[in-house]
Structure 1
Amino acid sequence: MATTASTASADGTDPGVAALERARELTGPALRDWTGTLPPAVAGWAGYHLGLQDEAGRPPRGYRGKAVRPALVLSCAEAVGGAARDAVRAAVTVELVHNFSLLHDDVIDQDALRRHRPTVWKLFGVPAAVLTGDALLALAHRVLATASGPRTAASVAMLGRAVEELVEGEAMDVAFEQRPEITTAEYAAMATAKTGALMGAACGLGALAGGADAERAGALAEFGRHLGLAFQIVDDLLGVFGDPKTTGKPVGGDIAARKKTYPVLAALASDGAQGRTLAGLYASGAPLSDADLRWAALLVTDAGGVRAARRAVDQELEAAFAALAEAGPAPEGRRDLTALAQVLTRRNN
């Protein structure tokens, strides 16, 4: 994987890991405060989903969230010469929108677990999950709209476009479930909308909060879009090979659900026996045992799906770093964003 700058900090810590930790520290209290302004009817469900409390309203047991998108917001604000504290509202905004999408995704996909716990719809019912997602989306716009500064209107418009694209990506994803054949290019377009749009907005909103003009913010948004697609493809690999102890999801969950993710689609498109066997497993409709899931994972690897996915990740990172260079970030900002990109695409949980 190519990089654009050294990611070693003076004290030897990884700047990408440090950016995530700082984002949790800066946005966590603000996220809790803003969530507390929600109507009582949904505040408890929102607090549970966000990891702020357990199902009975008690303090949580350890989970603090990854803060991927807030870290991008804060780092992009600093990369254009701004201060992280001036971008906290933008960071809270994108975290709320991200969690709105997760709540609705869980209902659409009927996923029973997230972050090692029952999902909101599974624990409290589908209406609770839908309403909580709606509330978080409305709150996100309220948080951003009440931010001070000359670029608030541009920021709200950017967020609105990102949410529209995110919804379009979700609609494409649902439509794909009814189609027997999907190309990796079609999947990449869907994932760019569903995941890349919000990560791009995180970077663009951070840049605007840091005082950047529209052109510079646009270049950083493009960095985030490409990083978002790379991040999603890595997530797809974890859906096949990830350890459930760290991912919080069942082993081979994506294959068990017959999800056509990037590595699976690349394997299915291969002209070999392994790809044809995998296609047979996907078409059978019969429940897959743990042994079947392990076999399917081997087929994805042997048919070239893993290799193709990793190549796509590297290509998206190259494009992301080119956009980052175009934005002309400060040296430390460039280092931190490069390191953050590496952390997000070389994870195992």
Structure 2
Amino acid sequence: MAEFDFISQYRDTFVTYLKDKVQWQEPENLYEPIRYILDLGGKRMRPVLTLMTADMYGAKVEDALDAALAVEMFHNFSLVHDDIMDDAPLRRGKITVHEKWDINTGILSGDAMLILSYQFFEEYPAELYLELTKLFSKTALEVCEGQQYDVDFETRDDVTIPEYIKMIEYKTSVLVAAAMKMGALVANAPQKDADAIYEFGRNLGIAFQLQDDYLDAFGDPKTFGKQVGGDIMENKKTYLYLKALEKATKDDQDGLLHLYSIKPADADAKVEAVKTIFKESGAVDETKQAIENYTQKAFDVLDTLDLPAPKKQLLQAFGEALMNRTV
């Protein structure tokens, strides 16, 4: 993702606060895995969005730090538990929590992270606390629902594109949307703007995940940060896959279904064969078009916001950078 000075400033402010605020205590085997996953870093996109939105609506960035911390802690909790469910060996290029310790530690440390997320909201006045925690609880439950849809899809051969979009909306984009709305709530923005900024984040989050699907198959291994072709090796029914099944010739449909039913010794050959079907069926072009459509839906929301033009342009530039990323 192209970097902006203001994004790196928000990120630096957030990371400094994270290190100061989260105090590590006993028992070490509960808190050390939490420190480990948080120290792995990542893009910190969600807390940056909380701080950025609060700042745009005139709040002090410092006032949004606890909400940003809650969002980031929850996001990392979900990664720890997702990695256990997926039996994933690596996260951000490093060994996962349950592999480095054990599954029980991963479960318990994840549980503690979820509880810590809620504690960070306790710094806010009662009325704002209620607004933030209501939004947070709704979002957290939706993330769980999205994860369950994802698990269910692994054993289903009749997943539709609307179902897939709903799954990625719940699993990924609602947390992006909530992160932005929390910033607006902390800044006491008009309710219509808080709702609209949620829609901006929701649509951008869907576009972000579709871009992730595309990069998983066609990204540059040097910059992507994950194993390119991983979704294909795991037979994940991504947007690319569903569009290819919809658009491909009968022979290619049969070939794709066969390839997604096997785990051959030569995984690279399978990945290349699947990618060829993705390209020839038009699924790649359809996926790029969907990314553009959801990004545009996000940008359309900007017209309704009660913000000066330069601030809207910053949000648009952020969205464009997200869609042009290679990582």
Q: TM-score, normalised by structure 2?
A: 0.93
**Count of paired positions:** 325
State the Cα distance separating 1:148 from its structure 2 match.
4.2
State the Cα distance separating 1:38 from its structure 2 match.
5.7
Residue matched to 2:285: 307
Q: Which letter maps to 2:15?
A: G
Within a 5 Å distance, the mapping from 1:58-207 to structure 2 comes to 64-148=41-125, 150-207=127-184
Q: Runs of 5+ in structure 1 lacking a partner? A: 1-13, 52-62
- Label 1:221 to 1:128 Cα distance change in 2 as closer, same or farther (>3 A): same
State the Cα distance separating 1:80 from its structure 2 match.
2.1
Residue matched to 2:323: 345
Q: Which letter maps to 2:222?
A: K
State the Cα distance separating 1:149 from its structure 2 match.
7.3
Would you say 1:44 and 2:22 are equivalent positions? Answer: no
Residue matched to 1:55: none
Q: Runs of 5+ in structure 2 lacking a partner? A: none
**Which moved further from structure 2: 260-269 or 324-333?**
324-333
**Which moved further from structure 2: 146-155 or 118-127?**
146-155
| Greater fraction of residues in helix | 2
Query: 1:226 and 1:38 mapped to 2: Cα distance?
Result: 39
**Which moved further from structure 2: 158-167 or 19-28?**
19-28
Query: 1:129 and 1:341 mapped to 2: Cα distance?
Result: 33
Give CA deviations for 1:114-151 in whole Å, capped at 9, x if unaligned. Answer: 11111111211111222222111111111122234752
Residue matched to 1:57: none
Would you say 1:292 and 2:270 are equivalent positions? Answer: yes
Q: CA contact under 8 A between 1:167 and 1:194: conserved in structure 2? A: yes
Q: CA contact under 8 A between 2:196 and 2:301: conserved in structure 1? A: yes
**Which moved further from structure 2: 229-238 or 207-216?**
207-216
Q: CA contact under 8 A between 1:114 and 1:248: conserved in structure 2? A: no
Q: CA contact under 8 A between 1:38 and 1:135: conserved in structure 2? A: no
Within a 5 Å distance, the mapping from 1:2-21 to structure 2 comes to 17-21=4-8
Q: Which letter maps to 1:35?
A: V
Would you say 1:224 and 2:201 are equivalent positions? Answer: yes
Would you say 1:28 and 2:15 are equivalent positions? Answer: yes
From 288, 311, 320, give the equivalent of 2:298: 320
State the Cα distance separating 1:173 from its structure 2 match.
0.8
What's the secondary structure of 1:284's corresponding residue? Answer: coil
Query: 1:21 and 1:98 mapped to 2: Cα distance?
Result: 19
Percentage identity across aligned positions? 34
Give CA deviations for 1:273-312 in whole Å, capped at 9, x if unaligned. Answer: 4343222201234455212212222221222221111111
Query: 1:20 and 1:165 mapped to 2: Cα distance?
Result: 27
Q: Which letter maps to 1:36?
A: Q
Give CA deviations for 1:90-117 in whole Å, capped at 9, x if unaligned. Answer: 1111111111111111111111111111
Give CA deviations for 1:304-335 in whole Å, capped at 9, x if unaligned. Answer: 22111111111111211122322222333212
Q: Which letter maps to 1:312?
A: A
- Label 1:31 to 1:125 Cα distance change in 2 as closer, same or farther (>3 A): same
What's the secondary structure of 1:50's corresponding residue? Answer: helix
**Which moved further from structure 2: 110-119 or 25-34?**
25-34
Give CA deviations for 1:246-281 in whole Å, capped at 9, x if unaligned. Answer: 333223111001111111211122241434322220
Residue matched to 1:3: none
Runs of 4+ in 1 over 6 A off after TM superposition: none
What's the secondary structure of 1:212's corresponding residue? Answer: coil
Query: 2:326 and 2:91 mapped to 1: Cα distance?
Result: 16
What's the secondary structure of 1:265's corresponding residue? Answer: helix
Residue matched to 1:249: 226
Q: Which letter maps to 1:49?
A: I
